[in-house]
Structure 1
Amino acid sequence: MTTQLQKPPGKKNDRYNEIVEAFPPADRVFPTILTRQAERHRDRTLVIAGQTRWTYAETAAVAAASAQHLAEAGIVPGDRIAILASNRAEFLEVYLGCAWLGAIAVPINPASRGVQLEHIFRNSSPRLLVVEDIFRGNLDSMRDQSVLPSDFWTIDQNGISRDASSRAPSTAKSAPAPKPGDTVAILYTSGTTGPSKGVCCPQAQLFWWGIYSARHLGIREGDVLMTTLPIFHTNALNTFYQALLNGCTYVLEPKFSASGYWNTARQHRATVGYLLGAMATILLAQPETQDDTNHEMRVSLGGGVPGHLHEQFRRRFNVPLLDGYASTETNFVIATPVPADHPGSMGYLIDGAEAQIVDGNDTPLADGEAGELVLRPREPFSFATGYFNMPEKTVEAWRNLWFHSGDRVVREASGLYRFIDRMKDAIRRRGENVSSWEVETVLHAHPLIAACAVYPVPSELGEDEVAVAVQLKPDASLQALDVVKYCEGKMAYFAVPRYVRFISQMPLTENGKIKKVSLREAGITPDMWDREKSGYKLRR
Structure 2
Amino acid sequence: MTSSPPWFDPKTPAREDCVVSCLIDKWAAATPDKTFILYENGDSWSWSQTRSIARATAAAFAARGIRAGDTVLAWLPNNATMIRSWFGANYLGATLVPINTSYRGRLLEHAIRTSDARLMIVHPALIDRLSEIEHSDLEHLIVDSPDLPNLDCGLTMEPVSVLDGDSAAEFDFAPQIWDTPLIIFTSGTTGPSKGVITSYLHQWTTATVQYGYMTAADRILINLPMFHVGGTSSIYAALARGASAALFDGFNTREFWPQLRATGSTTISGLIGAMASFLTKTPPQPDDGDNPLTYCTLAPITDDTIALSKRFNFHYVSGFNMTELSSPLITPLDERTHRSCGRPRSGVECRVVDDHDMEVGANMIGELVVRSDSPWVFFKGYHKNPEATAEAWRNGWFHTGDLVTRDADGNFFFIDRKKDAIRRRGENISSIEVELDVYAHAAVLEVAAYGVPCPAGEEEVMVAVAAKPGHTLDPQSLVEFLIPRMAHFMVPRYVRVVEALPKTPTNKIQKVQLRGEGVTSDTWDREASGLALKRQKLK
Alignment TM-score, normalising by the size of structure 2? 0.91
1:399 aligns with 2:394: yes
Deviation at 1:164, TM superposition (A): 13
Deviation at 1:539, TM superposition (A): 4.7
Q: Which of 278, 281, 303 is the matching residue for 1:282? A: 278
Give the secondary structure class of the aligned counterpart of 2:451. Answer: strand
The residue number in structure 1 matching 2:289 is: 293
Deviation at 1:241, TM superposition (A): 1.1
The residue number in structure 2 matching 1:242 is: 237
The residue number in structure 1 matching 2:150 is: none
The residue number in structure 2 matching 1:44 is: 34
1:453 aligns with 2:444: no
- Cα distance between partner residues in 1 of 2:335 and 2:502: 28
The residue number in structure 1 matching 2:97 is: 106
- Cα distance between partner residues in 2 of 1:458 and 1:28: 48
1:149 aligns with 2:146: no
- Cα distance between partner residues in 2 of 1:164 and 1:92: 14
- Cα distance between partner residues in 2 of 1:247 and 1:125: 33
The residue number in structure 1 matching 2:156 is: none
The residue number in structure 2 matching 1:196 is: 193
CA contact (8 A) 2:123 2:144 kept: yes
Pairwise CA RMSD: 2.4
Give the secondary structure class of the aligned counterpart of 1:250. Answer: strand
The residue number in structure 1 matching 2:515 is: 520
Give the secondary structure class of the aligned counterpart of 1:488. Answer: helix
The residue number in structure 1 matching 2:74 is: 83
Cα offsets for 1:313-345 (capped at 9, x unmatched):
123322344332110000122122332321332
- Cα distance between partner residues in 2 of 1:149 and 1:162: 18
Q: Which of 488, 496, 499 is the matching residue for 1:504? A: 499
- Cα distance between partner residues in 2 of 1:157 and 1:353: 48
**Please, which moves more after superposition, 377-386 or 416-425?**
377-386
- Decide whether aligned partners of structure 1 residues 25 and 373 sit closer, same or farther in structure 2, where only a CA change above 3 A counts: farther
Structure 1 segment 470-485 matched on structure 2, within 5 A? 470-485=465-480
Percent identical residues? 35
Deviation at 1:443, TM superposition (A): 2.1
Q: Which of 62, 65, 71 is the matching residue for 2:53? A: 62
**Please, which moves more after superposition, 252-261 or 315-324?**
315-324
- Cα distance between partner residues in 1 of 2:141 and 2:504: 28
Cα offsets for 1:51-95 (capped at 9, x unmatched):
331112222222222222211221111101000111101110010
The residue number in structure 2 matching 1:33 is: 23
1:302 aligns with 2:291: no
- Decide whether aligned partners of structure 1 residues 490 and 275 sit closer, same or farther in structure 2, where only a CA change above 3 A counts: same
- Cα distance between partner residues in 2 of 1:365 and 1:457: 28
Deviation at 1:221, TM superposition (A): 2.5
- Cα distance between partner residues in 1 of 2:25 and 2:141: 29
- Cα distance between partner residues in 1 of 2:368 and 2:279: 31
Cα offsets for 1:351-373 (capped at 9, x unmatched):
13111111111112222111110
- Cα distance between partner residues in 2 of 1:42 and 1:183: 27
CA contact (8 A) 2:56 2:163 kept: no
1:343 aligns with 2:338: yes
Give the secondary structure class of the aligned counterpart of 2:308. Answer: helix
- Decide whether aligned partners of structure 1 residues 160 and 429 sit closer, same or farther in structure 2, where only a CA change above 3 A counts: same
**Please, which moves more after superposition, 457-466 or 474-483?**
474-483
Cα offsets for 1:103-127 (capped at 9, x unmatched):
0101011110011111111111102
- Decide whether aligned partners of structure 1 residues 366 and 83 sit closer, same or farther in structure 2, where only a CA change above 3 A counts: same
Structure 1 segment 7-26 matched on structure 2, within 5 A? 7=4, 11-13=5-7, 20=11, 23-24=13-14
- Decide whether aligned partners of structure 1 residues 352 and 41 sit closer, same or farther in structure 2, where only a CA change above 3 A counts: farther
> Please, which runs of 5 or more residues in structure 2 have no aligned partner?
148-158
CA contact (8 A) 1:324 1:336 kept: yes
Cα offsets for 1:258-294 (capped at 9, x unmatched):
2111111111011112222211222233343333233
CA contact (8 A) 1:373 1:407 kept: yes
- Decide whether aligned partners of structure 1 residues 54 and 163 sit closer, same or farther in structure 2, where only a CA change above 3 A counts: closer
CA contact (8 A) 2:71 2:97 kept: yes
Letter in 2 for 1:509: T
Structure 1 segment 310-389 matched on structure 2, within 5 A? 310-389=305-384
The residue number in structure 1 matching 2:154 is: none
- Cα distance between partner residues in 2 of 1:402 and 1:12: 26
The residue number in structure 2 matching 1:415 is: 410
Cα offsets for 1:195-248 (capped at 9, x unmatched):
321100111111112211122xx2233111001111111111111111121221
- Decide whether aligned partners of structure 1 residues 61 and 25 sit closer, same or farther in structure 2, where only a CA change above 3 A counts: closer
Letter in 2 for 1:150: E
> Please, which runs of 5 or more residues in structure 1 have no aligned partner?
none
**Please, which moves more after superposition, 189-198 or 372-381?**
189-198
The residue number in structure 2 matching 1:493 is: 488
Give the secondary structure class of the aligned counterpart of 1:265. Answer: helix
CA contact (8 A) 1:37 1:245 kept: no
Q: Which of 261, 265, 277 is the matching residue for 1:266? A: 261
CA contact (8 A) 2:443 2:471 kept: yes
The residue number in structure 2 matching 1:160 is: 160
Cα offsets for 1:438-489 (capped at 9, x unmatched):
1112222333322211101111212111001122333334432232233334
The residue number in structure 2 matching 1:93 is: 84
Alignment TM-score, normalising by the size of structure 1? 0.91
- Cα distance between partner residues in 2 of 1:478 and 1:30: 50
- Cα distance between partner residues in 1 of 2:104 and 2:44: 32
Structure 1 segment 203-218 matched on structure 2, within 5 A? 203-215=200-212, 218=213
**Please, which moves more after superposition, 83-92 or 179-188?**
179-188
- Cα distance between partner residues in 1 of 2:98 and 2:497: 35
- Cα distance between partner residues in 1 of 2:534 and 2:314: 41
- Cα distance between partner residues in 2 of 1:64 and 1:356: 44
Give the secondary structure class of the aligned counterpart of 1:310. Answer: helix
CA contact (8 A) 2:17 2:240 kept: no
Q: Report the number of matched residues.
A: 521
Deviation at 1:38, TM superposition (A): 2.6
- Cα distance between partner residues in 1 of 2:193 and 2:239: 30
Deviation at 1:184, TM superposition (A): 1.3
- Decide whether aligned partners of structure 1 residues 34 and 66 sit closer, same or farther in structure 2, where only a CA change above 3 A counts: same
**Please, which moves more after superposition, 355-364 or 483-492?**
483-492
**Please, which moves more after superposition, 525-534 or 287-296?**
287-296
The residue number in structure 1 matching 2:526 is: 531
Deviation at 1:392, TM superposition (A): 0.9
